[in-house]
Structure formats: structure tokens, C-alpha cells
Amino acid sequence: MLCSILQGAPQEVSAVTSKHGLKYAGEGMSALVAIAAAAKGRSLELFDGARERYGGVLAGDLLMKHHIHIVYEQLLEANLLKIIEPFSCVEISHVASLINLPEKTVEKKLSQMILDNKILGTLDQGRGQLLVYEGSGLDKTYTHGLEVIGNLGMVVDSLFRRAQKMVHSGHVVGGVGGSGEGPVGSV
């Protein structure tokens, strides 16, 4: 169930709990269902409520605690991206008030997202603002350059094979790079 939540498919948890999960019913199952509901609704408030309610169950297992933290980070990133999407410049305090988190927490997460290239922008800490840049399309020059080089390599290989055939069949007098005598074929 936790894997479904981590992979971004929390709706699958209800299918597991409906039929097959009855024999595993308990506080741990209820905790995962609550976490899945929060992830499905992309709600940090529901997530925090589930963590408060089932804190003992979720914090008791180190693996569970680690993965629950990952789910929280994913939800936080998704919510921040949703909040800053319409802005090109927004005050960090405004973002923090919209997401109901301390300003320092939001600033730290935004800086981490910028470093991870999840947000294209900069933090102006002097003004307390996030400057968001429009994402430019991927520069395909490198990809096209590799294609051209690959095609040139195939052309050179083809010309080399043709030249070898001409040398072996005797159509070239004086060998490759000779005096220019002999028939000139289309290459």
C-alpha cells in the first residue's frame, strides 16, 4: 500500500483495503488509508492530521517513518508548484501564508527545489521574493548535432565501401588518390 502511495497512485489503496485488506485491518491499515486519502487529495492538512492521529504507528517503524517523510516531501513540492504556477514574482511570505507553513520552511524547500531544477527561478532573499522564469523549450541543437554526426559517419562508411569495391574491381587506375586517370563513376 505504501508503494502505491509513493508511486503516485493512492487511489489503488482503496481497492486493496476493500476486499483483501480486511484480514489486516487495524490501526496500521487505518493510518495508511488516511495517508493515501491525503495524498489523493494532495492535502498537506489532511496529511498532517493523519500524522498526528496515527503518529505512534507511523513513527514506530523506521522504514515507514522514512517513506512517510518522502510522501510529505512530494506533497509539499506538488502544493508549492501549484501555488507558484501563476506567478512570475511572488513574495515568500505570501506563499507561506497560502500553504500554512512557516516562512523559513517554505524558503528552504523552494531553494531545494531550485537546486534540484524542479523550479526555474531564483530566491531574492533581500526582498523575500521568488522570481520564477519561464521554462524555455529544450535546446535540440545538441541532439540534432549528434544526428548529423551519425549520418555523416554512415555516409563516410558507405563511400569507403564503394571505394574499396572500385579498387578491388579494377575501376580505379593508380589506386585511391591517383592521378585522376581512369573512369569516374557516380559515387
The confidence band for 157, taking pLDDT boundaries of 50, 70 and 90, is very high
Indicate whether 184 pLDDT > 70: no
The confidence band for 99, taking pLDDT boundaries of 50, 70 and 90, is confident
Which pLDDT belongs to residue 159? 93
Indicate whether 171 pLDDT > 80: no
Give the Cα separation of 79 and 99 in Å (integer).
Answer: 8
User: In degrees rounded to 5, what are phi and psi of residue 86?
Assistant: -80, -5
Indicate whether 101 pLDDT > 60: yes
pTM of the entire predicted model: 0.57
Q: Rounded to whole angstroms, what are the CA distances from 95 to 39, 43, 49, 91?
A: 20, 15, 21, 7
The residue ranking higher by pLDDT, 108 or 23, is: 108
Neighbours of 19 (CB within 10 A): 7
Indicate whether 125 pLDDT > 90: no
Under 8 Å between Cβ of 120 and 131: no
Indicate whether 156 pLDDT > 90: yes
Indicate whether 180 pLDDT > 80: no
Strands 89-91 and 129-132: antiparallel
Alpha helices in 8-140, H assignment, sequence order: 11-18, 27-40, 44-53, 55-60, 62-84, 92-99, 103-115
Name the range with the highest mean pLDDT among 20-34, 126-140, 167-181.
126-140
Mean pLDDT of the 132-155 span: 82
Phi-psi region of 184 (alpha: psi -120 to 50; beta: other; left: phi over 0): beta
Indicate whether 111 pLDDT > 80: yes
Average pLDDT, the chain: 77
Mean pLDDT of the 62-76 span: 83
| Structure confidence by residue, pLDDT tens digits, 12-49 | 555 555 555 555 556 667 777 777 777 777 777 887 88
